[in-house]
């Protein structure tokens, strides 16, 4: 999502205030503007703008009346967060203590080792079951 600061006109006395990467993002922005009483218009741009392919990513331009443009830009700028991953997700709790970890290292089996281990365990279980059968007879 990009907030357009310059007053570009669409030719019908509307001003472009934002450029959304997807239709869903454009709908989110329009809903936000609608809650504040700002009427807006969305125009699809780029590939798929003329067709009706619903699975195609279609960027959109959002337009408002010139007298409401500054309020709309301010609202979008205050509300929309560009990259929440940088601020919201903390570093893993255990990452600071990995160097101090003690104990056995994790086992690392190759494919052949994993199959061999599975066969050995299966044969051992069958041998125990056979021994129990012989004892009970």
| φ, ψ for residue 46, nearest 5 deg | 80, -165
Place of tokens 């255990």: 94
Q: What is the C-alpha separation between 98 and 96, in angstroms, rounded?
A: 6
- DSSP letter string, 65-122: -GGGHHHHHHHHHHH--S-THHHHSPPPTTGGGSTT--SPPPP---HHHHHHHHHHHH
Query: Greater confidence, 97 or 32?
Result: 32
pTM of the model: 0.50
Q: What is the pLDDT of residue 137?
A: 85
* Least confident stretch, 27-36, 48-57, 72-81: 48-57
* Res. 7: pLDDT tops 60: no
Query: Greater confidence, 58 or 64?
Result: 64
Identify the band that residue 128 occupies on the pLDDT scale cut at 50, 70 and 90. very high
The answer to whether position 22 is within a domain reads yes
The answer to whether position 91 is within a domain reads no
Q: What is the C-alpha separation between 10 and 70, in angstroms, rounded?
A: 17
* Least confident stretch, 43-47, 125-129, 133-137: 43-47
Q: What is the pLDDT of residue 96?
A: 63
Total domain count for the chain?
1
CATH, residue 50: 3.30.70.790
Q: Domain range spanning residue 50?
A: 2-82
The answer to whether position 66 is within a domain reads yes
The answer to whether position 15 is within a domain reads yes
């Amino acid at each position: 999502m990009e907030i357009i600061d310059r007053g570009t006109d669409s030719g019908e006395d509307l001003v472009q205030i934002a450029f959304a990467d997807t239709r869903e993002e454009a709908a989110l922005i329009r809903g936000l503007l609608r809650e504040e009483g700002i009427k807006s218009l969305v125009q699809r741009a780029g590939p798929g703008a003329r067709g009706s392919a619903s699975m195609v990513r279609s960027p959109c331009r959002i337009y408002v009346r010139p007298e409401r443009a500054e309020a709309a830009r301010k609202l979008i700028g205050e509300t929309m967060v560009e990259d929440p991953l940088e601020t919201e997700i903390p570093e893993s709790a255990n990452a600071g203590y990995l160097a101090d970890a003690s104990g056995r290292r994790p086992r690392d089996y190759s494919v052949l080792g994993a199959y061999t281990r599975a066969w050995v365990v299966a044969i051992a279980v069958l041998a125990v079951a056979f021994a129990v059968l012989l004892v009970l007879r």
